[in-house]
Structure 1
Amino acid sequence: MGSLEMVRVLQVSATLSSLDGGPAEAALNLNRALRAHGVDATIVSTDQHSAGQLPDERRRYITASGVAAELYRAHWPFGVKASIRMALALSRHVRASDVVHIHGFYLWHAVLAATYAQFHRVPYLIQPHGVFEPYQEQQSTRIKSLFMRLGGRRALRLASAIAFDTETERRVAVLPRCARAVRRVIIAPAPRGQRPKARDIGGVSPGPHILFLARIAPKKRVDLVIAAMPEILRQFPGARLTIAGDDAEHLAESALQQSPAQARAAITCCGFVEGVAKDELIDSADVYVLPSENENFGISVTEALAAGLPVVISKNIALWQQVREHEAGIVIDQLDAADVAQAVCTLFSDAQRLHTAGNAALDLGRILFSADATREQAMNAYETALGMTPALH
Structure 2
Amino acid sequence: MKILHLLASVDPRTGGPVEGVRRSGLAMQEAGHEIEVASCDTPGDAHVAAFPFPVHAFGPASNRYGYNAKLTPWLSANAKRFDAVVVHGLWQYHGYGTWKALRRSEVPYYVYTHGMLDPWFKEAYPLKHLKKWLYWPWAEYRVLRDARAVIFTTEEERTRARESFWLYRARERIVPFGTTVPELDAARVRHTFLQALPELAGKRIVLFLGRVHAKKGCDLLIEAFARVAARDPSLHLVIAGPDETGWAPSLLAQAQAAGIANRITLPGMLQGDLKWGAFHASDAFVLPSHQENFGVAVAEALGCGLPALISDKVNVWREIEEDGAGLVATDTVEGTEKSLLRWLDLDDTGRHAMRAQARRTFHSRFRIETMVTALTALLESKGAAVDMRKTPLTPLREATQQSR
TM-score scaled by structure 2?
0.82
The answer for the alignment partner of 2:287 in structure 1 is 290
Matching residue's letter, 1:15: S
Q: Taking structure 1 as reference, are residues 249 and 348 closer, same or farther at Cα in structure 2, changes over 3 Å only?
A: same
Q: Does 1:188 align with 2:176?
A: yes
Identify the residue that residue 62 of structure 2 maps to in structure 1. Answer: 76
Instruction: Write the deviation string for residues 295-314 of structure 1: whole angstroms up to 9, x where unpaired.
Output: 12222212211222111111
**Aligned equivalent of 1:325:** 322
The aligned counterpart of 1:381 is 378
- Conserved in 1, the CA contact under 8 Å of 2:286 and 2:310? yes
Q: 1:269 to 1:94 in 2, by over 3 A?
A: same
Q: Pick from 214, 227, 234: which aligns with 2:230?
A: 234
* Distance (Å, rounded) in 2 between the aligned partners of 1:44 and 1:228: 42
> For residue 4 of structure 1, what is the aligned residue in structure 2?
none
SS in 1 for 2:212: coil
Structure scoring higher RCO (CA < 8 A, sep ≥ 6) equals 1
Specify the alignment match of 1:37 in structure 2: 31
- Measured in 2, the distance between the counterparts of 1:193 and 1:119 equals 40
Report the Cα distance in structure 2 between the residues aligned to 1:343 and 1:223, rounded to whole angstroms: 16
Asked if 1:10 is matched to 2:4, the reply is yes
For 1:1-393, list aligned pairs within 5 A. 7-47=1-41, 56=46, 58-59=47-48, 61-63=50-52, 67-77=53-63, 79-137=64-122, 139=125, 140-174=128-162, 179-180=168-169, 182-195=170-183, 198=186, 207-260=203-256, 263-333=260-330, 335-336=332-333, 338-349=334-345, 350-385=347-382
| Identity level (%) | 26
Query: 2:292 is paired with a residue of what secondary structure?
Result: coil
Deviations 1:242-287 (A, max 9, x none): 1111224343421321335751111111011222321111121110
Mapped to 1, the partners of 2:224 and 2:69 lie a distance apart of 47
Change (3 A) 1:151 1:60: closer
Deviation of 1:196 after TM superposition, in Å, equals: 7.5
Amino acid at match of 1:72: F
Report the Cα distance in structure 2 between the residues aligned to 1:243 and 1:158, rounded to whole angstroms: 40
CA gap of 1:222–1:178, structure 2 versus 1, over 3 A, is closer
RMSD over aligned Cα atoms: 2.6
1:156-196 superposed Cα distances (whole Å, 9 cap, x missing partner): 2221111002111112222756653x431122332344447
CA contact (8 A) 2:162 2:168 kept: no
Q: CA deviation at 1:365?
A: 1.4
> Matched residues in 1 for 2:322 and 2:3: separation?
35
Contact 2:111 2:151 in 1 (8 A): yes
Unaligned runs of 5+ in 2: 188-200, 386-404
CA distance, structure 1, for counterparts of residue 215 and residue 44 of structure 2 = 25
Does the CA-based 8 Å contact 1:311-1:329 persist in structure 2? yes
Q: Aligned partners of 1:265 and 1:254: how far apart in 2?
A: 15
Distance in 1 (CA, whole Å) between partners of 2:290 and 2:314 is: 8
Provide the rounded CA distance (Å) in 2 between the counterparts of 1:178 and 1:36: 40
Q: 1:10 to 1:210 in 2, by over 3 A?
A: same
Instruction: Indicate the residue corresponding to 1:391 in structure 2.
Output: none
Q: TM-score, normalised by structure 1?
A: 0.84
Counterpart Cα distance in 2 of 1:339 and 1:159? 39
